[in-house]
């Protein structure tokens, strides 16, 4: 095939539950290709695009498809269709990264790693097939901003109208324009047993405060945004950078944009009060912390790298700063008992988190726990990847009976909303305003607790396909 000049980038999937934010990964690849003279379009199935017909009409030389685990079947269907129509088909994302040979049954090329430079090599005809180990971009500050002009921004700016169950910005209404922004890559911890970072092991790299502000100024100018959320794994990693971004937001008059970000417990424990005060003045309204559990035993199992005392101190620091505390809890982790779960419920109540996100432990491909199970031949050969949504028990590794475990998450949510009538009222209002999306989310949250969805059996295993 001659050197390609047109590239279609596809965001697959049909469930609105997965359409929370802009496809920033594709946006970065698109911007990098455009910078190098390539014609690019993004086709977003999650945003409702009829991607197959639209891609054929565009007549690309290359189709690049990203995918996470729960939407991999839609990704494979797309890949099969484009390859059948003689389009060089490339797959990337965390699932093809860990199962390249499975993905190669549907695509010509699989990219493992960050895709900007690898896709340009493919476009220029330097690679025509097989697996490309792309590694990572060392200097993310040199990358152009994601090509949002190619995205369905009318859909994503008002993401709360389509996914009103978004919990990480509880103070922003569905009438406000929301942007999700990525200003760093990698995680300095990378040890949590359930996380994709445990197999990537890419170093932490971040944009300078000046570059972050340049992007936010552009977003304000182009889209008139009201709120933003920093979607990186650990926005709070570099406290000096947080202070620098906050100071520049104030200096540039951008502190009328409210924002939230994620952080680790240890980062919040070590943050000085003046940095919290500066961030609040700069528009920060909430901090999301991956607590995951209220049990000291489970913190060790999950390899979180902090203690319950640390977690309580972090929660106290956030509230003392006048910020909303948002956080995550996981139930059903390896060896977890009902006593561990009781401690998590107690922790939720003690810390008074706002709209906590509660997940069922899911052994995602590539995570440390997945690799351990694979070594023990404890992975079934025929997986239903659609179930990997953290909303049902895939493999019960806890000491809690499966039926009881499936009800536990739903019960924790119900207890939270009964204890927080204002948040419950907001949920009911969202259900009335956006019934289809919110009912879909509620059903997926409650269904495992009341309808038997059996976990994959524990016993003799065969090697997982695609490895």
What per-residue confidence (pLDDT) applies to 407?
87
Q: For the residues 312-335, what does the mean pLDDT come to?
A: 96
pLDDT digits (tens, 9 = 90+) for 71-95: 999 999 999 999 999 999 999 999 9
Reduce the DSSP state of residue 178 to 3 states and report it.
strand
- Whether the Cβ atoms of residue 208 and residue 141 lie closer than 8 Å to each other: yes
Residue-level length of the chain: 467
Which residue stretches of 376-420 are H helix?
A: 402-419
Q: Name 292's Cβ contacts closer than 8 Å, sequence gap at least 6.
A: 192, 298, 299, 302, 304, 328, 329, 330, 333
- Whether the Cβ atoms of residue 57 and residue 31 lie closer than 8 Å to each other: no
Taking 80 as the threshold, does the pLDDT of residue 440 lie above it?
no
Which residue in 411, 375, 373, 413 sits closest to 395, CA to CA? 373
- 6-11 sheet: strands from edge to edge: 39-44, 6-11, 62-66, 88-92, 109-113, 130-135
303: left (phi over 0), alpha (psi -120 to 50) or beta: left
What per-residue confidence (pLDDT) applies to 464?
38
Q: Where are the domains of the chain?
A: 6-140, 158-450
To the question of domain 158-450 being in CATH 3.80.30.20, the answer is: yes
Instruction: Give the whole-angstrom CA distance, residue 67 versus residue 380.
Output: 21
Instruction: Give the whole-angstrom CA distance, residue 427 versus residue 435.
Output: 10
Range in 207-221, 229-243, 262-276, 421-435 with the lowest mean pLDDT:
421-435
6-140: CATH number: 3.40.50.2300
What per-residue confidence (pLDDT) applies to 465?
38
Taking 50 as the threshold, does the pLDDT of residue 459 lie above it?
no
**Pairing mode, strands 205-206 and 184-185:** antiparallel
What per-residue confidence (pLDDT) applies to 462?
34
Task: State if pTM tops 0.75.
Answer: yes
Instruction: Give the whole-angstrom CA distance, residue 416 versus residue 80.
Output: 44
What per-residue confidence (pLDDT) applies to 78?
97
pLDDT digits (tens, 9 = 90+) for 371-416: 999 999 988 878 899 989 888 888 999 999 998 998 898 889 888 8
């Amino acid at each position: 095939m001659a050197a390609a000049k047109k590239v279609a980038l596809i965001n697959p999937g049909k469930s609105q539950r997965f359409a929370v934010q802009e496809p920033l990964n594709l946006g970065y690849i698109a911007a990098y290709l455009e910078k190098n003279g390539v014609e690019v379009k993004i086709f977003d199935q999650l945003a409702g695009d009829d991607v197959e017909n639209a891609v054929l009409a565009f007549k690309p030389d290359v189709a690049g498809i990203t995918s996470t685990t729960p939407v991999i079947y839609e990704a494979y269907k797309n890949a099969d269709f484009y390859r059948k129509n003689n389009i060089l088909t490339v797959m990337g994302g965390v699932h093809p990264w860990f199962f390249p040979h499975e993905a190669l049954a549907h695509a010509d090329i699989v990219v493992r790693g960050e895709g900007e430079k690898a896709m340009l090599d493919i476009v220029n005809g330097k690679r025509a097939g097989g697996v490309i180990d792309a590694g990572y971009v060392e200097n993310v500050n040199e990358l152009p901003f994601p090509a949002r002009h190619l995205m369905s921004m009318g859909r994503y700016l008002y993401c709360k109208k389509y996914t009103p169950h978004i919990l990480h910005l509880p103070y922003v209404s569905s009438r406000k324009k929301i942007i999700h922004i990525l200003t760093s890559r990698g995680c300095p911890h990378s040890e949590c047993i359930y996380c994709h970072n445990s197999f990537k092991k890419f170093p932490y790299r971040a944009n300078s405060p000046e570059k972050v502000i340049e992007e936010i100024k552009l977003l304000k100018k182009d889209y008139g945004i009201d709120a933003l959320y920093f979607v990186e794994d650990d926005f709070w990693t570099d406290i000096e950078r947080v202070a620098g971004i906050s100071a520049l937001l104030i200096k540039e008059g951008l502190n009328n944009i409210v924002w939230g970000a994620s952080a680790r417990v240890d980062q919040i424990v070590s943050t000085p009060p003046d940095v919290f005060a500066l961030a609040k003045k700069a528009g920060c309204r909430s901090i999301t912390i991956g607590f995951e559990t209220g049990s000291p035993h489970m913190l060790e199992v999950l390899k979180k790298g902090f203690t319950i005392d640390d977690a309580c101190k972090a929660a106290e620091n956030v509230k003392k700063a006048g910020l909303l505390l948002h956080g995550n809890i996981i139930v059903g982790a390896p060896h977890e008992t009902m006593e561990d779960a009781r401690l998590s419920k107690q922790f939720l109540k003690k810390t008074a988190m706002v709209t906590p996100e509660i997940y069922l432990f899911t052994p995602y491909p590539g995570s440390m726990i997945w690799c351990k199970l694979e070594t023990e031949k404890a992975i079934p050969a025929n997986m239903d990847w659609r179930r990997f949504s953290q909303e049902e028990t895939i493999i019960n590794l806890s000491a809690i009976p499966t039926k009881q475990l499936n009800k536990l998450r739903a019960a924790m949510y119900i207890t939270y909303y009964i204890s927080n009538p204002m948040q419950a009222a907001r949920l009911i209002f969202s259900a009335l305003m956006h019934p289809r999306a919110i009912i879909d989310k509620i059903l997926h949250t409650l269904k495992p607790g009341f309808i038997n969805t059996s976990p994959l059996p524990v016993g003799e295993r065969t090697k997982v396909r695609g490895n």
